[in-house]
Amino acid sequence: MSKIWYTQPLHTTIVEFLQKKRGATIDVDLYNALKKKNKDLSFRRFNKTLMKLDIEGIIHVASLTKNKRHIELIKT
Protein backbone atom coordinates (compact mmCIF):
# COMPACT_ATOMS: atom_id res chain seq x y z
CA MET A 1 0.00 0.00 0.00
CA SER A 2 1.47 3.32 -1.02
CA LYS A 3 1.32 6.39 1.16
CA ILE A 4 -0.35 9.10 -0.90
CA TRP A 5 -1.77 12.23 0.66
CA TYR A 6 -4.94 13.55 -0.90
CA THR A 7 -6.01 17.14 -0.55
CA GLN A 8 -9.64 16.30 0.15
CA PRO A 9 -10.89 13.82 2.79
CA LEU A 10 -12.88 10.82 1.60
CA HIS A 11 -16.03 11.78 3.50
CA THR A 12 -16.07 15.19 1.81
CA THR A 13 -15.67 13.57 -1.61
CA ILE A 14 -18.59 11.24 -0.88
CA VAL A 15 -20.88 14.11 0.15
CA GLU A 16 -19.94 16.13 -2.94
CA PHE A 17 -20.59 13.14 -5.20
CA LEU A 18 -24.02 12.63 -3.64
CA GLN A 19 -24.84 16.30 -4.14
CA LYS A 20 -24.02 15.96 -7.84
CA LYS A 21 -26.22 12.85 -8.08
CA ARG A 22 -29.20 14.72 -6.56
CA GLY A 23 -28.74 13.14 -3.17
CA ALA A 24 -28.91 9.38 -3.84
CA THR A 25 -26.98 6.57 -5.48
CA ILE A 26 -26.11 2.88 -5.24
CA ASP A 27 -22.99 1.91 -3.26
CA VAL A 28 -21.31 0.15 -6.21
CA ASP A 29 -21.63 3.23 -8.42
CA LEU A 30 -20.26 5.45 -5.68
CA TYR A 31 -17.34 3.11 -4.98
CA ASN A 32 -16.41 2.86 -8.67
CA ALA A 33 -16.48 6.65 -9.06
CA LEU A 34 -14.29 7.11 -5.99
CA LYS A 35 -11.95 4.35 -7.14
CA LYS A 36 -11.28 6.29 -10.37
CA LYS A 37 -10.04 9.27 -8.36
CA ASN A 38 -8.25 7.28 -5.65
CA LYS A 39 -6.65 4.07 -6.95
CA ASP A 40 -5.61 2.98 -3.44
CA LEU A 41 -9.13 3.09 -1.98
CA SER A 42 -10.05 -0.20 -0.34
CA PHE A 43 -13.62 -1.42 0.03
CA ARG A 44 -13.02 -1.67 3.78
CA ARG A 45 -12.08 2.02 4.06
CA PHE A 46 -15.06 2.92 1.88
CA ASN A 47 -17.43 1.01 4.19
CA LYS A 48 -15.88 2.55 7.31
CA THR A 49 -16.39 6.04 5.90
CA LEU A 50 -20.00 5.26 4.96
CA MET A 51 -20.65 3.97 8.48
CA LYS A 52 -19.10 7.10 10.00
CA LEU A 53 -21.27 9.37 7.84
CA ASP A 54 -24.36 7.29 8.65
CA ILE A 55 -23.71 7.49 12.39
CA GLU A 56 -23.17 11.26 12.18
CA GLY A 57 -26.53 11.60 10.41
CA ILE A 58 -25.13 13.04 7.18
CA ILE A 59 -26.20 10.12 4.98
CA HIS A 60 -28.58 7.19 5.27
CA VAL A 61 -27.58 3.74 4.04
CA ALA A 62 -30.33 1.20 3.36
CA SER A 63 -30.03 -2.33 2.03
CA LEU A 64 -31.79 -2.98 -1.28
CA THR A 65 -30.67 -6.55 -1.90
CA LYS A 66 -27.99 -8.76 -0.42
CA ASN A 67 -25.21 -7.01 -2.37
CA LYS A 68 -26.71 -3.57 -3.04
CA ARG A 69 -27.16 -0.60 -0.74
CA HIS A 70 -28.96 2.66 -1.37
CA ILE A 71 -27.07 5.71 -0.12
CA GLU A 72 -29.01 8.91 0.41
CA LEU A 73 -27.78 12.34 1.47
CA ILE A 74 -29.73 13.66 4.48
CA LYS A 75 -28.11 17.01 5.11
CA THR A 76 -25.54 19.07 3.24
Instruction: Encode pLDDT of 1-50 as tens digits.
Output: 556 666 789 999 999 999 999 999 999 999 999 999 888 899 999 999 99
pLDDT computed for residue 58 by the predictor: 94
Continuous segment of H or E residues that includes residue 26? strand 24-26
Q: What is the pTM assigned to this prediction?
A: 0.85
Domain boundaries, the chain: 10-73
d(CA 32, CA 35): 5
Its CATH class, for the domain covering 10-73, is mainly alpha
Cβ atoms of 24 and 70 closer than 8 Å: yes
Beta bridge partners of 24: 72
